[in-house]
């Protein structure tokens, strides 16, 4: 519930700590036969190690976090640039190393323990869900299995820090910051790594003055628009990553998009990266989601399950298109939780009234002010179970008047839709924009149909979990990838055929009293 909050850090504190940690961390590609003890002993010559872990991504890798930043340069000074004779290496002083063993010993070594960086398979998920004690337990289990681990978070911040080193060759004092699901507390293992190049500090460090006789010429090169400036910056960074970025492959410049970006895959970390510039509003959205996720322990559990449900039902996709995005789904869950009585989550306008003077934030004319100290937000008095909230979520959006209403987390109530887009979710900071403008009518209808079907399926479930294990129940029944892989289940579920569900749904739809949904089809 809601009373389990101890002191929680501000978003900015977490980001600052992670960034500082990443700056004294190195990435090392290792041979499989390495001895962990010798490896650490060797590295300790450069200074004490705070922590380390190994993982697999195109071979074995280690992340080593030193206690002091100086240890990194000491290690860099002790390494050399390889030359193969056939290829020419372009030297770049990075924090990504490679260990070669001169005489790999043949003696038996204890196997290296690898930290897992991938989400569980659908089979594994099914197994976990089947063994859970209750539907509430299922949602919490799913959260634990999919959420970004401490190691994965370190790896994400390190990757940004490594990209920053490359970008800093062009833009000294720049910062590359992660945003989106890597930091908003709603990211799943395996999700992409969104990052942006922040040049604001360059200005702040060198140009406190706004007048005078001397101008910093390297910063001032005029181009016709902000968009063109962004495209030019990303274009050179794209080239730079492609030619000189250790481990950066498949660099694509997507400069004509609404939000121009460079996409690449960072092989050593295994992340698909999207680099953009100037995304301060998106960073503020990430902070807002972080606060909502930290306010009540039910929020993340519900969002993760809904995201998994949407993915399993092909409502979301990794390819951009007319489908609903995870970002929009998260907004829908937050809105739903604001609509409960009493509310599970406060409105954004309320979080704005709690803001102190240091929280004031205006970005490009948009007021992005809200409280940053989440310990000052009163916990919710709502005590509903996750099971109830999950059912009610499907019920709520299965019957939402999408044709006339807009979803608005700022006010926490439906507003009249300002335009005719099928799904309207107000951008919380750029309030004239719709974050789900891309969604077409048929994708919205699919969402509504599946929400109704899932509400119905969960309604049919006996309240107790079945005694035989390996029989999908509860949440597993609405994730078809799980209920389809029934080869390991002895018994097939006695679900009525799809046609019957459809007919039943029609009868529910034609009847507009809410109670009929609870009793029909039994």
- Choices 321-329, 395-403, 492-500, 511-519 (CB under 6 A): range interacting with ligand GTP: 321-329
Q: Which two tokens stand for residue 87?
A: 């290829």
Q: How far is the CB of 259 from ligand GTP (least distance, A)?
A: 8
User: CA-CA distance, 278 to 276, in Å (whole number)?
Assistant: 7
Q: Does residue number 161 form part of the binding site for ligand GTP (CB under 6 A)? A: no
Q: Does residue number 330 form part of the binding site for Mg ion (CB under 5 A)? A: no
- Choices 127-135, 178-186, 455-463, 497-505 (CB under 6 A): range interacting with ligand GTP: 178-186
Which listed residue (151, 194, 296, 453) binds Mg ion by CB under 5 A? 194
Q: How far is the CB of 322 from ligand GTP (least distance, A)?
A: 13
3-class SS of residue 312? helix
Of 379-408, which residues contact Mg ion (CB under 5 A)?
Answer: none
User: CA-CA distance, 415 to 141, in Å (whole number)?
Assistant: 35
Q: Does residue number 269 form part of the binding site for ligand GTP (CB under 6 A)? A: no
54 beta partners: 62, 114
Q: How far is the CB of 51 from Mg ion (least distance, A)?
A: 26
Which listed residue (55, 139, 156, 180) binds Mg ion by CB under 5 A? 180
Neighbours of 383 (CB within 10 A): 12
Nearest residue (CB) to ligand GTP, 29 versus 184: 184
User: CA-CA distance, 441 to 403, in Å (whole number)?
Assistant: 10
Helix segments in 296-347, DSSP class H? 297-312, 326-339
Q: Does residue number 270 form part of the binding site for ligand GTP (CB under 6 A)? A: no
Estimate to the nearest angstrom the gap between the alpha carbon of 430 and the chain centroid: 21
Q: Does residue number 435 form part of the binding site for ligand GTP (CB under 6 A)? A: yes
Per the CB < 8 A criterion, the answer to whether 22 and 158 are in contact is yes
Which listed residue (327, 352, 470, 489) binds ligand GTP by CB under 6 A? 327
Per the CB < 8 A criterion, the answer to whether 126 and 236 are in contact is no
- Choices 174-182, 277-285, 290-298, 309-317 (CB under 5 A): range interacting with Mg ion: 174-182
Nearest residue (CB) to Mg ion, 153 versus 476: 153
Q: Does residue number 192 form part of the binding site for Mg ion (CB under 5 A)? A: yes
Which listed residue (122, 138, 181, 278) binds Mg ion by CB under 5 A? 181
User: CA-CA distance, 295 to 377, in Å (whole number)?
Assistant: 8
Closest by alpha carbon to 312, among 185, 472, 462? 472
Instruction: Supply angle C-alpha 352, 436, 394, rounded to 5.
Output: 85
Per the CB < 8 A criterion, the answer to whether 283 and 195 are in contact is no
Nearest residue (CB) to ligand GTP, 141 versus 276: 276
Computed on alpha carbons and rounded to an integer, the radius of gyration of the chain in Å comes to 25
- Choices 191-199, 200-208, 240-248, 260-268 (CB under 6 A): range interacting with ligand GTP: 191-199
Which listed residue (159, 286, 369, 443) binds ligand GTP by CB under 6 A? 286
Residue 139 contact among ligand GTP, Mg ion, none, beta carbon within 5 to 8 Å by kind: none
Per the CB < 8 A criterion, the answer to whether 251 and 233 are in contact is no
Residues forming the site for ligand GTP (CB under 6 A): 179-181, 184, 187, 191-192, 194, 282, 285-286, 325-327, 427, 435
């Amino acid at each position: 519930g809601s009373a389990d909050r101890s002191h929680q850090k501000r978003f900015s504190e977490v980001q600052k700590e992670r960034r500082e940690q990443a700056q004294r961390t190195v990435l090392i590609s290792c041979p499989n036969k390495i001895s962990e003890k010798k490896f650490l002993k060797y590295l300790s010559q450069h200074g004490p190690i705070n922590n380390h872990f190994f993982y697999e991504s195109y071979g074995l890798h280690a992340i080593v976090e030193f206690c002091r930043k100086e240890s990194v340069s000491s290690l860099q000074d002790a390494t050399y640039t390889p030359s193969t004779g056939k290829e020419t290496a372009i030297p770049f002083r990075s924090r990504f190393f490679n260990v070669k063993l001169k005489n790999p010993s043949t003696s038996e070594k204890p196997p290296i323990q690898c930290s897992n960086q991938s989400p569980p398979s659908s089979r594994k998920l099914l197994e976990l869900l089947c063994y859970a004690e209750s539907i509430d337990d299922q949602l919490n289990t799913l959260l634990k299995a999919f959420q970004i681990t401490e190691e994965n978070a370190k790896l994400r911040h390190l990757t940004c820090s490594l990209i920053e080193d490359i970008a800093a060759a062009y833009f000294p004092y720049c910062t590359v910051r992660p945003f989106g699901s890597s930091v908003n507390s709603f990211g799943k293992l395996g999700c992409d790594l969104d990052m942006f190049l922040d040049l604001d500090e360059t200005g702040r460090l060198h140009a406190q003055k706004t007048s005078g006789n001397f101008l910093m010429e390297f910063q001032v090169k005029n181009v016709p628009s902000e968009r063109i400036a962004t495209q030019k910056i990303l274009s050179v960074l794209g080239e730079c990553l492609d030619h000189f970025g250790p481990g950066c492959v498949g660099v694509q410049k997507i400069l004509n998009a609404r939000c121009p970006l460079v996409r690449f895959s960072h092989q050593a970390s295994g992340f698909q990266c999207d680099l953009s510039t100037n995304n301060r509003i998106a960073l503020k959205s990430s902070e807002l989601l972080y606060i909502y996720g930290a306010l009540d322990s039910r929020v993340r559990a519900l969002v993760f399950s809904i995201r998994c449900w949407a993915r399993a039902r092909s409502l979301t996709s990794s390819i951009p298109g007319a489908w609903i995005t995870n970002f929009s789904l998260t907004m829908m869950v937050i809105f739903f939780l604001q609509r409960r009585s009493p509310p599970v989550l406060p409105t954004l306008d309320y979080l704005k009234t709690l803001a102190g003077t240091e929280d004031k934030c205006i970005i490009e004319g948009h007021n992005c002010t809200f409280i940053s100290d989440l310990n000052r937000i009163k916990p919710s008095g709502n005590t509903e179970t996750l099971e109830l909230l999950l059912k009610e979520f499907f019920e709520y959006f299965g019957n939402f008047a999408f044709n006339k209403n807009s979803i608005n987390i700022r006010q926490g109530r439906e507003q009249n839709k300002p335009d005719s887009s099928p799904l309207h979710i107000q951008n919380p900071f750029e309030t004239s924009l719709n974050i789900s403008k891309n969604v077409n009518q048929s994708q919205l209808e699919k969402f509504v149909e599946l929400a109704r079907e899932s509400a119905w399926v969960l309604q049919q479930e006996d309240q107790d979990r079945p005694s035989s294990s390996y029989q999908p129940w509860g949440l597993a029944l609405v994730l078809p990838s799980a209920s389809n892989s029934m080869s390991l289940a002895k018994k097939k579920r006695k679900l009525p055929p799809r046609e019957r569900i459809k007919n039943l749904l029609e009868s529910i739809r034609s009847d507009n009293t809410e109670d009929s949904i609870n009793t029909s089809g039994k």
